[in-house]
Amino acid sequence: MPEEVNRQDYIISTYNLEPSITRFLVGEKEMLGGFQLIFKFPNGYGASIINHIGSYGTELAVIVWEDDKYFITYDTPITDDIIGYIESKEELIDLLNAIKNLPHKGE
């Protein structure tokens, strides 16, 4: 990836993420030679997407938000673990939409 390309723009363009998803992108940082993207949805859930030298390709974790802090959750219908080796934009978009459409946390 060229240095001048913003990592957030790179992953959005790589996976061709839709504006209905990218508007919930609240954080991005470099991590272990790669990146982390953080999403926060109105239902109290979100996603952490990482890709770096220690990850299983592109990985997604379902997170729950408490105020301005987030924690990985292993108790959703989406998964009870981290989802690794995400290789297609369809799979990533489907996962993000599924998290976005979960019932509000606590319901």
Token pair listed for 22: 């990218």
pLDDT at 42: 96
Q: Answer whether 58's CB lies under 8 Å from 89's CB.
A: no
**48 has pLDDT over 60:** yes
Q: Where are the beta strands (DSSP E) in the chain?
A: 25-31, 34-40, 45-51, 59-66, 69-72
Q: Is the pLDDT of residue 13 over 90?
A: no
DSSP 8-class letter at 105 = T
Average pLDDT of the chain is 87
Confidence tier at 103 by pLDDT (50, 70, 90): very high
100 closest CA partner among 17, 13, 7, 15? 17
**Would you say residue 100 has pLDDT above 80?**
yes
pLDDT of residue 1 exceeding 80: no
Report pTM: 0.85
Q: What is the CA radius of gyration of the chain?
A: 13
